[in-house]
Amino acid sequence: MTDKDNEFMAHALLLAEKGKLWTSPNPMVGAVITSNNEIIGEGFHEKYGNEHAEVNALKGLGNNMEGASLYVTLEPCSIHGKTPPCTDAILASGIKRVVIAMKDPNPLVNGKGIRLLEEAAIEVEVGLLEEKAGRLNEKYIKYASTSVPWVTLKAAQTLDGRIADLNGESKWITGESSRKAVHTLRALHDAVLVGAGTVLKDDPELTVRHVEGKNPLIVIIDEDLDTELNSKIYQVKTDVATILFTSTKNSQEKIDIYSDNGVKVITYEKSDGLDIGWMLRKLGSLGISSLLVEGGSKIFSSFLSSDSVDRYIFFVNPSLMGNGLAAFESEGFQVTERLQLKEQSIEIVGEDIMIQGIPSRGK
């Protein structure tokens, strides 16, 4: 691979990221077409259901492109979905060299697109900037590989780890810039989850009203059906119904009230509480590829204990509460087994500090 190859793939990755608010559950993909080391076409997957990156890059270029190269951040699809296979468009174009950042982990693709191109005597190279391509589509990769949604846990807290005071009051621990950043996080996930306590205390909307993007689907864990249907969270309009997980101990009559008001109610046996792994598999079966967990403490603790979180994000305000509600109230881990954040980043967001990373247990 040459420096130019790297340059063109890096540009394709930047293009891919432009679709980050609208492509889910599809991946973000960018494509660049070059001739004589000059870019002659480019495109990205702009929105779920719309044409894919390769097709957008090929628009207006015709079918006599034997000297051209295609750089694409993910293996071209070979299946009929909402749009025709991208491999068909590539084969029709006359392109004879395709550089791919990474294979598509979707079992329906996973190498098939590459084989189709190679069988047509197209030179195919795979793996250029693969790590960066993987980070870009971490949510898609997990869901495509496991059918379980990617889980991000977000907490807003003081420097001493408090997410609310002794009265449960949490508005506002962090500043306006952090709250806007959280709205962006919501737009980047298919669904957002909270517990009944958060609904009752904060009456949140969980929308993306402060940024561009679509409102995420709302998931509520309400074991005793304590939340009221006139809460703001039940009034938010999303593409699909709000999902409510509740215990089978509740009467069918009470459950039906929520169902009759457009809520999708999913029940679970209460003996050991809600199994987080089971819940995530259920959400995955409903097409939810990514989940943002926003609270509260009981919910955070359940996800921590179940090792179900793929990325932690903490917005830390440089203040001290002294006492109050801790972000986590589980038994926790021994020092040698404590959870650490790898691939972490630290960023100043207004008056707060945003710390995020991938969890790793042990030393």
Which residues belong to the active site? 54
Beta strand segments in 73-121, E:
97-100
Question: What torsion, rounded to 10 degrees, do the Cα atoms 52, 288, 129, 21 define?
Answer: 60
Query: Is the CB of residue 300 less than 8 Å from the CB of residue 153?
Result: yes
Residue type, 110: N
Return d(Cα 350, Cα 176) in angstroms, integer.
Answer: 8
E strand intervals along the chain:
30-35, 38-44, 69-72, 97-100, 123-126, 150-158, 162-164, 191-195, 217-221, 243-247, 264-268, 290-295, 311-317, 325-326, 339-349, 352-361
Question: What tokens appear for 83 in the block?
Answer: 């749009």
Phi and psi based region of residue 67 (left: phi greater than 0; alpha: psi -120 to 50; beta: remaining): alpha
DSSP state of 218: E
DSSP assigned state of 223: T
Closest CA to 20 of 46, 49, 51: 46
CB neighbourhood size of 60 (10 A): 7
Mode of pairing for the β-strands spanning 311-317 and 325-326: unpaired
Separation between Cα atoms, residue 44 and residue 270, nearest integer Å: 46
Query: 214: which DSSP letter?
Result: P
Cross-strand partners of 342: 358
